Each structure stands twice: as structure tokens, then as C-alpha cells.
């Protein structure tokens, strides 16, 4: 098992030379840590209402102030991260898995299947994402599961397209042709040769996809179509803050900052990973 | 004898690479007399392109000029200010490039590009258009008025190269540098363009520096020829001398390998054995040593200098004969 | 050329057709039939049956879909059950607001991004170049509604430089433009760096091409070479991206419209979702999807017109 250790080592030594990538990595680590440790770190119960201390500014007791029900904003922000984490984990892994299978089918399967799949990818992608999500939520009613479902449906084409392109490129390579000539089954070729080759691009894609997924969840929750109250989510904190914007700016400031940190962190980190593992993609840009 | 239009003295140029300096040109001497056509031959990688880029000062950013001078009509081009140099380009010195498919701008019409090239002329639009038409006619393009409206991709390679020649001669330059202008064309077209170029040269009275690796083209067109190998001039003289009595072993090999000169039928085209030396880590002694079949003991130690008067070559064999 | 446009157009139509059918099917298959959704859970079964019959919801899905397309062909998207007005008219009234917003955002982003990219390409590794590089990665990722909220918070509510609500007085151009500033910034900010990066990359590529060397060999000024010879080519791939950008900005526009309480398709859809006004939801999603597909198509067609090489090739 020397190879994975080598990869990790290589990643870190390359990250050290890339300040932006390192910043991203540190941001991502801090956010993940704060989110996972939220139950221990949060000074208050995020749902605890205190109507006598509504919309207060930051103080020693409440570092980020309180919202319209007197709940501690800092605790809500910390717990809000758990919603974002859950949504990204579930949505990305499911859509990546389905995208992987569909993409391989399109790339390695017969032409007619490829055509049908590509047209369906294009079809799903032709909806502006939020509009599509709204239409679905209009019928099912707001819930976190709907949000996850919508994100999965709209992300599948993103992964499937990348897998398809990579699979097609590999399909014509000599070593694969040789294996086929020797009678290796398609599933074996896909597992042994195609999968290892597309793992890195998929991983990079997933890390670049986190900002979009977190943004989508926050966006829908901001519109009141995601988590149901009183569950805290960065989006719902922003929603509460928007309603009481003229009374206190703190909920909006506090709800927006982690979103900015997550998107910047994952984007910088993802870009850096891409440079390390897929320099081809980058060369034009330099 | 009148002064040469172009006189290159001891020019050395290297490229900065990760492995160290790559010695692309070493002590190159070259004269282009007024009204003459000088040919340069050599394999790809021999420094031809670096040489012409140095003359018009459009070297790659990692190129460094070690020493030497490029004297054009009494001015050292290497010491000219950027603006003065730009003023010379396309006016007193013009270029025709190798690949006619990519050397014209794909999204501008021929007319527009020919108009822009006359940016120094005080003539008005109508006069410039008339001049473009006249030049296209001169290089043998039929229906020039229509061609002016067209885009480069409408034209065949030969037509594009004629356009490029028309553009280059438009300002009646003193020196025309042609970088393998016919390599990308088929043989019949090549002959047509060569003949046209020769006619135009007489008409305009300019000097031409013509780079090619087609020996027959050089023989047909040029007055004098310079043979380059791995960044050095190994032989120079009149076309007649060099082609009939080649003195450097490399020139001899080149001539033997020229498909146009092979008399008997053979299965394989003769090629020169071996490859170019590593220009980053230059071996001492004669540069051609590794591929030479007449190698002497001193070839490994001394670098031979050019010897001879009109017909020069850099080879120890010549000293041994005399 | 025309064959190319027709081929691209047909493909777009097919995708639009599939997308609308998919949406239509999903709306009718998700739990909770539209009648309940429309009338609320307290409606009597008789009332629901009456409503279903009136809207044709008791027919098989295929028939309903056929009726929907038949209506669409006549320019009829059904009737808003609340106001009894034609859905087409309602959507049509809101569309210009959204288009204005999206065009202002993409226009502003291009006006800033193209020169920035051009400059970055010419002065490589300058401070501005590096700044653009970081900016391009950073701003495209930040959700535009967060940007919108922060702009609202500071520039509109706190400092009162710009209006916080609405689209301005109708007919008063400068007032409308004034109201457009903040939403357009929120929507376009991420694209400035992105466009700059695209222009920079393709500019660097073009500057390496042989014809640029030719232009230099003729002593053309660097200004002419960059503006007339290189930028023209470097912008071609950017145009395609801008077409895609207009489409993807529709999602962002929805947030900008809600945050700044502006009229527009996004606001219309959002309000329709809250009131479960299903014909309006269908109509506005149809229009935005159509707009998205069309803008992608338009980008390809414009690109083909700008590039004389494509103009010919694709004509055959």
C-alpha cells in the first residue's frame, strides 16, 4: 500500500508551495472541525428561545448576538454547519455513484445508449437549477430530503459527463484494446482500468462541487423551502436575518460568513488539487 | 564591391532552459550583398529560425544574445531602440513565413491585412487599396479585387503564400527574409513561386535571405549559399562551388541524401546517420564529429575554423590537404 | 451556415420538449395531486373532483400533456386560478425585468472583465494579473444571494447609497437604472473575474499564433495587434461562455429579485410556489428554461457569425 501514502505525501508537499491551496485546506479543516464538534463547542442550545434578549448585538455572553427569538446566533451557525455537511455528504456521494454508473454506460456502451443518455443529461441541465428546485418543492412541500433529492438529480449529469469523457478517452487506448482482445469482460476492464483512472478527476470535481451544493441548500433554506423551522441552517439564519434586517445586521453577517468561508475554502483547495493531479487541465491557463 | 546590406558578425545566441543555456547559435558570420539572393540550408534545429528571429529582433523571451552584431545598412540592429526596430520591420526588412495556413490572420480579410501593412504610408484608403490590387496582380493572383474581400481560409496555400509575398514586397524593402516559404507547398507550386520570386527580386532590386531545406530550390534561386549545422556555419560559397565541389563532409552528406539527386533506384532513401549534438552540453572539438565518416584525431580536440576565400568550409580535412 | 443553425435549433427544441415533458410528468406524479395542492387539504372531495374536471386533471397524463402542448402552440399556458388572467400575459409582463437584470449583470461583468483579462495577458504575473486570478476563483464560488444580502445590508440599508427595494418608477429610465445597480452587481460580480480569466487564457493562446508574429514582422503597433488582431479571436470562445452565463444567471436572478423585492420571473415563480399556484409555476419554469436553452443557442449562432472560418465550414 505504498501508493496512497505516496499520493498523500505528494499532495501535501505540493500544497505547501501553493499558498492559496493551503489557505483553502486550512479553511476546510477548520470548518469541518467546528461542524463536527458543534455539540460540544456551541455555548447554548441553538433552539433555546429567550424573548427578553431579542436581536441583541454581539456581547460577552452572545459572541454573534441573538436573533428575533433571542436564540444564540453563534450556536445556530455552528449547528447550521451540520445541515450543510449532511446535505453535501449525502447528495455528492449519491450523485457521484449514479453519475459514475451512467457515465460509464454512456462511455463504454453502445452508441444508441450513449445518445439517449447524453440527451437526458442535457435535458436535466437545461433547467435553471433553482427554478427546477422550486417547481419540485412547490409540489412536495419544503423539506430537507426534497432539497437533497433535487441536488442529486441536477448533479448527476455533471459527474456523468466527466466520467463519460474519460471513459471514452480510455476506451480507445492500446492497453484496454489489448485486454479486450484477450477476452477480459467489460465489467473487469471498467473496474480495473477505468475506475482507477477516473478516481482523481471525480474526487477533484466533488471538492469543487461542495460550494455549489452548500450554496444550493443555503439558498433553498433562505427561501424557506429547505429545512423546516426551528432547525438552524446557514440559509435559514439568513432568512431570519433578512426579515429583521433593519433591526439587527448580525444574523445576516453571521450566516453569510461561513458560507463564504466554505465556498472559498473548497474552491481554493479543489483548484489546488486539480493543479497537482491534472496539470493538463491547467496548462492553458498559465 | 559595395557594402553588404546585411552583415552578421560573430553572432552567438543561447536560450535559457531548465537544463542550462542552450547554445542555439555560435559565432555565426554571414553577409548578404546588395541585390543578391543568399540561401541558408540545414536540417531543422540547425539554428536557421533563431538566426532570422534575431535579425528582425522577434526572439523568444528566453533567448539571450551572447555577443556579435547584426549590421543592416550601417546600423547594428541589436543595439537599435525598440521603436526604431519596429520602424524597420515591414518597411526596410520584410518577412515571408513558412506556413501560409497560419501566418495570415484568420478573421480579417486579405484586403484589411494588406491595408494594415501599409500603416506607414501617407496614402489614403483608395490609394492603398489600389496598391494592394497592384501587388496582388504582380505576384500572379487573378481577379485581385475579389480576393481582397475574402478571408485567408478561402485561399489555397499557394495563393496565401503569394499574398504573403505581395505584403512583404509592398513597401519595397531592401531585404526580404523568406523562411522556408515553399516547404508547405507541392512541387509544381513551389517552382511557380520560386520563379515569381526571382522575377520580383530583379524588378524590385532587393536582397533576399532565403531559408530552405530543399537543395534544389536553393540551387535554382540563390546566388550564394550558407550551410548551417547545429548552430554553426560549416560551409559557404557560391551555389556553383558548394553544389559542385562540396568541401564539408556534412554538405557532402546533405547532397548525397537529396532525393532530387539520387540517380539509381533504391529501396531506402539515404539518410545521415546519428542525430544533432546536445546543444545544452556541447562537446568540444568539431560539432559534426559524431556523424562524420572521415573523423581525424584532432577533430575531438580543436574546433575547425572556416577557411578559404570565396568558398569557405570549417573542416580539418581541408588543412590536411593543403 | 443555415443548416448549422437549423440543426442546433432542432436539438434545442428537442431538449426543451423533453425538459417540459419531464417537468409536466413529475408534477403529476409526485405525491399530493394538483387538485389538493391547489385547493388546500380542507377542500371537499366534490370540490376537488369539480376542479380536476375543469382543469382536465382527470384525463390520462398523455392527454393532459397533449393538451398542454396544443395550448402552448396557440400561445396559451392556461389561466391563473387566482386572478383568472392568462398565464402568458402574466409571465410576459415579468420577463423584461429579469432580462434587463441579467443583461445588465453580464454586460457590466464583460465591460470590466474583458479589459482586465486583456491586461492580465499582456502584463503577465503583474500584481493585477495575480489579483484577477484569485478573484476569479473566489467570486464565482460565493453564492450570489449572500453577495446580494451583504450589498443590501451595507450599501442600501446602512449607507443608503442605493435603493433597497423595487425596480424603480416605470417609464423613468434613470430611476430604473439606479434600482438595477445593486442586483446587477450581486449577479455579475462573480463573472468579472471569470470572464477576465477566460479572456486572458485565450488571449495568451492567440498571441502565440503565427499570424501575430506576421503582424509584428510588419511593424504593426502592439496596440493594433492586441485590439484588432488578437482580441477579435480571443473573444470568440468567451461569447459561448457568456451565452451559458446568461442561462445560469437566471437562478441567481431569482435571489436578487427576492432580496431586493424586484419584480421579475424569479419573484413570480417564488410567489407562485408559496401560494402553490401551479399554472404559474409551470409557465414561469417553461419560460426560463426556454430562455436558458435559447441563450445557449444564440451564443453558438453568434459565435458562428463572428468567426468567418466557422461561417463557411458549417454552411455545408
pLDDT digits (tens, 9 = 90+) for A1-39: 344 556 777 777 777 778 888 888 999 999 999 999 888
pLDDT at A160: 92
Which of A20, A119, A138 shows the shortest C-beta gap to C281?
A138
Dmax (CA) for chain C in angstroms is: 85
pLDDT at B264: 63
**Would you list the DSSP string of A199-214?**
HHHHHHHHHHHHHHHH
CB pair distance less than 8 Å for A268 and C137? yes
Given strand B20-33, what is the order of strands in its sheet? B20-33, B4-17, B63-72, B75-76
Going along chain A from its start, the domains and CATH numbers come out as 66-278 (1.10.3720.10)
- Which residues of A fall within a CB distance of 8 Å from C274? 224
C311 within 8 A of C305, measured Cβ to Cβ: yes
| Size (chain B), residues | 322
DSSP C230: I
Strands B207-211 and B175-179: parallel
Given strand B224-229, what is the order of strands in its sheet? B93-96, B175-179, B207-211, B37-41, B224-229, B232-238, B312-313
pLDDT digits (tens, 9 = 90+) for A92-115: 999 999 999 999 989 888 889 998
pLDDT at C74: 81
pLDDT at B319: 74
pLDDT at C40: 65
pLDDT at A67: 81
In this complex, is the C-beta atom of A130 within 8 Å of any C-beta atom belonging to chain C? Answer: yes
Closest residue of chain C to B177, computed from CA coordinates: C217
In this complex, is the C-beta atom of A58 within 8 Å of any C-beta atom belonging to chain C? Answer: no
pLDDT at position A249 over 50: yes
Percentage of chain B surpassing pLDDT 70? 95
Mean pLDDT, rounded, for B210-228: 89
CB pair distance less than 8 Å for A134 and C254? yes
Query: Low-confidence residues of chain C, pLDDT below 50?
Result: 314-316
pLDDT at position B320 over 80: no
Of A259-263, B169-173, C49-53, which gets the smallest average pLDDT?
A: C49-53
Mean pLDDT, rounded, for B138-167: 90
pLDDT at B10: 92
CB pair distance less than 8 Å for A122 and C31? no
Shortest alpha-carbon distance between residue C216 and chain B (Å): 8
Residue B22 corresponds to which cell in the numbers above? 542552450
| CA A63 to chain CA mean position, Å | 28
DSSP A192: I
Q: Does domain B6-81+217-321 have CATH number 3.40.50.300?
A: yes
B133 within 8 A of B143, measured Cβ to Cβ: no
Going along chain C from its start, the domains and CATH numbers come out as 2-73 (no CATH), 93-307 (1.10.3720.10)
User: Pick the residue with more confidence: C11 or B109?
Assistant: B109
pLDDT at A30: 93
Confidence grade of residue A282 (pLDDT, cut at 50, 70, 90): very low
pLDDT at position A283 over 50: no
CB pair distance less than 8 Å for C213 and B58? yes
A230 preceded by a cis bond (ω within 30 of 0): yes
Window A:212-231, CB contacts with C under 8 Å: 215, 218-219, 222-225
pLDDT at B2: 65
Residue C112 corresponds to which cell in the numbers above? 470590466
From the candidates B103, B149, B161, which should be mutated to test the interface with C, based on the most C CB atoms within 10 A? Answer: B103
pLDDT digits (tens, 9 = 90+) for A140-150: 778 888 889 98
Which of B88, B106, B119 shows the shortest C-beta gap to C220?
B119
User: Domains of chain B: which residue ranges?
Assistant: 6-81+217-321
Dist. CA C200–CA B317, nearest whole Å: 56
**Would you list the DSSP string of B235-297?**
EEEEHHHHHHS--SHHHHHHHHH-GGG--S--SS-----S----SSS--SS-TTGGG-SS--G
pLDDT at C76: 80
Of A41-50, A242-251, B140-149, which gets the smallest average pLDDT?
A: A41-50
Dist. CA C23–CA A135, nearest whole Å: 8
User: Pick the residue with more confidence: A130 or C1?
Assistant: A130
pLDDT at B279: 83
Dist. CA A62–CA A45, nearest whole Å: 12
pLDDT at A191: 81
pLDDT digits (tens, 9 = 90+) for B230-264: 889 999 999 999 999 999 999 988 888 877 666 66
Dist. CA A12–CA A274, nearest whole Å: 13
Strands B63-72 and B4-17: antiparallel
Dist. CA C47–CA C7, nearest whole Å: 47
Non-local CB neighbours of A140 within 8 Å, separated by 6+ positions: A146, C30, C31, C32
From the candidates C1, C209, C211, C221, which should be mutated to test the interface with B, based on the most B CB atoms within 10 A? Answer: C211
Amino acid at each position: 500500500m505504498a501508493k496512497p501514502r505516496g499520493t498523500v505525501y505528494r499532495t501535501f508537499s505540493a500544497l505547501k508551495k501553493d499558498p492559496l491551496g493551503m489557505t483553502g485546506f486550512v479553511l476546510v479543516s477548520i470548518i469541518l472541525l467546528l461542524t463536527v464538534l458543534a455539540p460540544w463547542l456551541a455555548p447554548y442550545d441553538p433552539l433555546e428561545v429567550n424573548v427578553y434578549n431579542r436581536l441583541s448585538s454581539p456581547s460577552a455572553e452572545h459572541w454573534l448576538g441573538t436573533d428575533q427569538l433571542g436564540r444564540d446566533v453563534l450556536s445556530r451557525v455552528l449547528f447550521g454547519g451540520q445541515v450543510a455537511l449532511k446535505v453535501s455528504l449525502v447528495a455528492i456521494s449519491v450523485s457521484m455513484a449514479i453519475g459514475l454508473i451512467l457515465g460509464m454506460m454512456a462511455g463504454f456502451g453502445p452508441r444508441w445508449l450513449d445518445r439517449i443518455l447524453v440527451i437526458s443529461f442535457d435535458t436535466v441541465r437545461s433547467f435553471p437549477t433553482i427554478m427546477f428546485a422550486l417547481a419540485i418543492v412547490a409540489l412536495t412541500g419544503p423539506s430537507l430530503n426534497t432539497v437533497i433529492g433535487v441536488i442529486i438529480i441536477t448533479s448527476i449529469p455533471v459527474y456523468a459527463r466527466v466520467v463519460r469523457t474519460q471513459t471514452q478517452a480510455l476506451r480507445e487506448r492500446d492497453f484496454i484494446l489489448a485486454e479486450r482482445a484477450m477476452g477480459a469482460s467489460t465489467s473487469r476492464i471498467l473496474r480495473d482500468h477505468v475506475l482507477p483512472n477516473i478516481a482523481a478527476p471525480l474526487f477533484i470535481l466533488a471538492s469543487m462541487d461542495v460550494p455549489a451544493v452548500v450554496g444550493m441548500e443555503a439558498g433553498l433554506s433562505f427561501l424557506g423551502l429547505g429545512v423546516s423551522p426551528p432547525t438552524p441552517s446557514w440559509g435559514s439564519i439568513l432568512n431570519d436575518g433578512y426579515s429583521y434586517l433593519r433591526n439587527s445586521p448580525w444574523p445576516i453577517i453571521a450566516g453569510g460568513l461561513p458560507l463564504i468561508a466554505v465556498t472559498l475554502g473548497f474552491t481554493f483547495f479543489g483548484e489546488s488539487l486539480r493543479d497537482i493531479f491534472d496539470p493538463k487541465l491547467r496548462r492553458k491557463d498559465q | 564591391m559595395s557594402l553588404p546590406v546585411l552583415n552578421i558578425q560573430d553572432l552567438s545566441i543561447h536560450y535559457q532552459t531548465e537544463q542550462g543555456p542552450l547554445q542555439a547559435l555560435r559565432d555565426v558570420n554571414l553577409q548578404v550583398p546588395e541585390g543578391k539572393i543568399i540561401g541558408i540550408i540545414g536540417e531543422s534545429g540547425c539554428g536557421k529560425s533563431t538566426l532570422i528571429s534575431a535579425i528582425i529582433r522577434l526572439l523568444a523571451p528566453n533567448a539571450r544574445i551572447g555577443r556579435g552584431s547584426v549590421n543592416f545598412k550601417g546600423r547594428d540592429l541589436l543595439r537599435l531602440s525598440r521603436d526604431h526596430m519596429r520602424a524597420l520591420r515591414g518597411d526596410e526588412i520584410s518577412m515571408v513565413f513558412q506556413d501560409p495556413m497560419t501566418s495570415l490572420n484568420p478573421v480579417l480579410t486579405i484586403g484589411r491585412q494588406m491595408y494594415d501593412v501599409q500603416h506607414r504610408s501617407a496614402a489614403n484608403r483608395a490609394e492603398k487599396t489600389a496598391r494592394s490590387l497592384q501587388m496582388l496582380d504582380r505576384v500572379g493572383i487573378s481577379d485581385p479585387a475579389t480576393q481582397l474581400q475574402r478571408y485567408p481560409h478561402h485561399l489555397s496555400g499557394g495563393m496565401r503564400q503569394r499574398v504573403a509575398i505581395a505584403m512583404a514586397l509592398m513597401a519595397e524593402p531592401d531585404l526580404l527574409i523568406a523562411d522556408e516559404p515553399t516547404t508547405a507547398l507541392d512541387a509544381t507550386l513551389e517552382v511557380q513561386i520560386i520563379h515569381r520570386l526571382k522575377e520580383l527580386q530583379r524588378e524590385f532590386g532587393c536582397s533576399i535571405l532565403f531559408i530552405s531545406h530543399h537543395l534544389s530550390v536553393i540551387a535554382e534561386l540563390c546566388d550564394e549559399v550558407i550551410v548551417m549545422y547545429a548552430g554553426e556555419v560549416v560551409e559557404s560559397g557560391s551555389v556553383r562551388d558548394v553544389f559542385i565541389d562540396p568541401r564539408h563532409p556534412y554538405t557532402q552528406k546533405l547532397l548525397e541524401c537529396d532525393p532530387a539527386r539520387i540517380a539509381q533506384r533504391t529501396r531506402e532513401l539515404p539518410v545521415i546517420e546519428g542525430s544533432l549534438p546536445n546543444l545544452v552540453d556541447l562537446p568540444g572539438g568539431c560539432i559534426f564529429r559524431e556523424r562524420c565518416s572521415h573523423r581525424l584525431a584532432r577533430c575531438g580536440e580543436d574546433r575547425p575554423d572556416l577557411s578559404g576565400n570565396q568558398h569557405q568550409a570549417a573542416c580539418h580535412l581541408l588543412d590536411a590537404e593543403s | 451556415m443555415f443548416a448549422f443553425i437549423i440543426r442546433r435549433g432542432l436539438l434545442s427544441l428537442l431538449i426543451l420538449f423533453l425538459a417540459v415533458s419531464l417537468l409536466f410528468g413529475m408534477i403529476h406524479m409526485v405525491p399530493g395531486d394538483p387538485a389538493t395542492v391547489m385547493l388546500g387539504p380542507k377542500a371537499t372531495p366534490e370540490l376537488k373532483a369539480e376542479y380536476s374536471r375543469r382543469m382536465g386533471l382527470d384525463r390520462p397524463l398523455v392527454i393532459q400533456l397533449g393538451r398542454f402542448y396544443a395550448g402552448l402552440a396557440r400561445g396559451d399556458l392556461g389561466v391563473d386560478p387566482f386572478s383568472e388572467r392568462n398565464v402568458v400575459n402574466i409571465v410576459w409582463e415579468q420577463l423584461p425585468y429579469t432580462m434587463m437584470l441579467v443583461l445588465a449583470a453580464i454586460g457590466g461583468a464583460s465591460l470590466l472583465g474583458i479589459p482586465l483579462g486583456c491586461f492580465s495577458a499582456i502584463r503577465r504575473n503583474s500584481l493585477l494579473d495575480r489579483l484577477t486570478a484569485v478573484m476569479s476563483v473566489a467570486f464565482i464560488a460565493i453564492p450570489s444571494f449572500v453577495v446580494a444580502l451583504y450589498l443590501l445590508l451595507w450599501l442600501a440599508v446602512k449607507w443608503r447609497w442605493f435603493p433597497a427595494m423595487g425596480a424603480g418608477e416605470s417609464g423613468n429610465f434613470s430611476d430604473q437604472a439606479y434600482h438595477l445597480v445593486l442586483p446587477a452587481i450581486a449577479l455579475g460580480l462573480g463573472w468579472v473575474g471569470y470572464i477576465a480569466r477566460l479572456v486572458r487564457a485565450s488571449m495568451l493562446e492567440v498571441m502565440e499564433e503565427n499570424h501575430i508574429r506576421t503582424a509584428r514582422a510588419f511593424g504593426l503597433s502592439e496596440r493594433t495587434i492586441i485590439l484588432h488582431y488578437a482580441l477579435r479571436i480571443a473573444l470568440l470562445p468567451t461569447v459561448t461562455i457568456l451565452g451559458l452565463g446568461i442561462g445560469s444567471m437566471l437562478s441567481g436572478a431569482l435571489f436578487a429579485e427576492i432580496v431586493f423585492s424586484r419584480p421579475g420571473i424569479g419573484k413570480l415563480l417564488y410567489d407562485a410556489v408559496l401560494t402553490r399556484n401551479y399554472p404559474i409555476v409551470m409557465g414561469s419554469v417553461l419560460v426560463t428554461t426556454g430562455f436558458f436553452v435559447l441563450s445557449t443557442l444564440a451564443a453558438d449562432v453568434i459565435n458562428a457569425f463572428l468567426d468567418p472560418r466557422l461561417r463557411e465550414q458549417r454552411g455545408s
